[in-house]
Structure 1
Amino acid sequence: MDQALNPSIISGRRRKTVMVLAAALATLCAAAWGINRVVSPSVDADSLLIAQVRTGNIANTINASGIVIPVHEELVSSPIQTHVAKVHAKLGQQVKAGELLLELDNRTIVLAIDGLREQVAQQENRILALTLEMDQKRKQLLSSIELLELDLQATRVKLGRYQTLRKAGGVSAEDLLTAELNVQRNEIQLRQQHEQIEDSKRVTSSGIEGARLQKNILQKQLQQQQELLAQTQVRAPFAGMLTWLLADEGASLATGQLVAKVSELSNYKVEASLSDFHARSLNAGQPVRVEQGNVRLDGVVQTILPEIQNGSVKLLVTLDQPNHAMLRNKLRVEVNIVTEQKKNTLLADYGPAFNGRGPQDIFVVRDGVARKTTLNIGASDGKAVEILSGVRAGDRLIISDTSRYKDRDSIRVAQ
Structure 2
Amino acid sequence: MSNDVPRQKPKKKKVKLAVGITVAIVAVVTVALARTRSALPTVDRATVWIDTVKHGAMLREVQGVGSLVPEQIRWLTVTTPARVAEVRARSGAVVQPDTVVVVLDNPDLVLQSLEADRQKTAAEAELVNLEARLRNQHLAQEAQVVGLSADAVESARRAEADGELSRRGFLSKLEMAQSQGRAEALDGRVQLETKRLGSLEKEASAQLASQRAQVERLGSIAEFRRRQLDELHVRAGVAGVLADVPVQVGQWVTQGVVLGKVAQPEKLKAELRVAETQAKDVQIGQSVTVDTRNGLVQGRVIRMDGAVQNGTVKIDVAFDVPLPQGARPDLSVDGRIEIERLDNVLYVGRPPMATPAGSVTAFKVVGEEAVRVPVQLGRSSVKTVEVVSGLRDGDQVILSDMSAWASVDRIRLK
Between the two proteins, the alignment pairs up a number of residues equal to: 401
1:242: which partner in 2? 242
Q: Secondary structure at the match of 1:176?
A: helix
8 Å CA contact 1:288–1:317 kept in 2: the answer is no
Q: CA deviation at 1:89?
A: 1.4
1:8: which partner in 2? none
TM-score by length of 1: 0.81
Cα offsets for 1:180-235 (capped at 9, x unmatched): 22222322333333333333333223222211111122222233333333322211
1:318: which partner in 2? 317
1:329: which partner in 2? 329
Which residue identity lines up with residue 314 of structure 1 in the other structure?
A: V
Cα offsets for 1:120-139 (capped at 9, x unmatched): 22232222222222332343
1:120: which partner in 2? 120
Q: Secondary structure at the match of 1:306?
A: coil
2:226: which partner in 1? 226
1:147-296 paired onto structure 2 within 5 Å: 147-278=147-278, 280-291=280-291, 293=293, 295-296=295-296
Matched, 1:96 2:92: no
Which residue identity lines up with residue 315 of structure 1 in the other structure?
A: K
2: CA distance, partners of 1:62 / 1:224? 52
| CA 142–60 in structure 1, closer or farther in 2 if over 3 Å, else same | closer
8 Å CA contact 1:353–1:362 kept in 2: the answer is no
1:50: which partner in 2? 50
2: CA distance, partners of 1:59 / 1:233? 55
8 Å CA contact 1:302–1:315 kept in 2: the answer is no
| CA 176–84 in structure 1, closer or farther in 2 if over 3 Å, else same | same
1:81: which partner in 2? 81
1: CA distance, partners of 2:356 / 2:124? 81
| CA 150–54 in structure 1, closer or farther in 2 if over 3 Å, else same | closer
1:72: which partner in 2? 72
Q: CA deviation at 1:275?
A: 4.5
2:396: which partner in 1? 396
8 Å CA contact 2:304–2:316 kept in 1: the answer is no
Q: CA deviation at 1:265?
A: 0.9
2: CA distance, partners of 1:66 / 1:303? 14
| CA 350–292 in structure 1, closer or farther in 2 if over 3 Å, else same | farther
8 Å CA contact 1:271–1:314 kept in 2: the answer is no
| CA 39–210 in structure 1, closer or farther in 2 if over 3 Å, else same | same
Q: CA deviation at 1:295?
A: 4.4
8 Å CA contact 2:352–2:401 kept in 1: the answer is yes
Q: CA deviation at 1:35?
A: 0.8
Cα offsets for 1:66-116 (capped at 9, x unmatched): 333222112222222323222111124332333211122253333333223
8 Å CA contact 1:58–1:379 kept in 2: the answer is no
TM-score by length of 2: 0.81
Q: Secondary structure at the match of 2:329?
A: coil
2: CA distance, partners of 1:141 / 1:85? 61
Which residue identity lines up with residue 381 of structure 1 in the other structure?
A: S
2: CA distance, partners of 1:150 / 1:252? 76
Cα offsets for 1:252-294 (capped at 9, x unmatched): 3333332222222122233333454456445444444444558
| CA 383–297 in structure 1, closer or farther in 2 if over 3 Å, else same | farther
Which residue identity lines up with residue 119 of structure 2 in the other structure?
A: Q
2:342: which partner in 1? 342
1: CA distance, partners of 2:299 / 2:308? 23
| CA 57–225 in structure 1, closer or farther in 2 if over 3 Å, else same | farther
Which residue identity lines up with residue 330 of structure 1 in the other structure?
A: D
Q: Secondary structure at the match of 2:407?
A: coil
Q: CA deviation at 1:342?
A: 0.9
| CA 149–267 in structure 1, closer or farther in 2 if over 3 Å, else same | closer
Cα offsets for 1:45-77 (capped at 9, x unmatched): 333322233334223344444333222112222
| CA 367–202 in structure 1, closer or farther in 2 if over 3 Å, else same | closer
| CA 275–399 in structure 1, closer or farther in 2 if over 3 Å, else same | closer
1:408: which partner in 2? 408
1:9: which partner in 2? none
Structure 1 unaligned runs (5+)?
A: 1-12
Q: Secondary structure at the match of 2:308?
A: strand
Bigger drift between 105-114 and 76-85 goes to 105-114
8 Å CA contact 1:288–1:301 kept in 2: the answer is yes
8 Å CA contact 2:303–2:317 kept in 1: the answer is no
1: CA distance, partners of 2:98 / 2:146? 67
RMSD: 3.6
| CA 93–119 in structure 1, closer or farther in 2 if over 3 Å, else same | same
1:379: which partner in 2? 379
Q: Percent identity?
A: 22
Q: Secondary structure at the match of 2:306?
A: strand
2:108: which partner in 1? 108
2: CA distance, partners of 1:305 / 1:234? 33
2: CA distance, partners of 1:150 / 1:112? 57
2: CA distance, partners of 1:208 / 1:353? 82
**Large movers: runs of 4+ above 6 Å:** 20-27
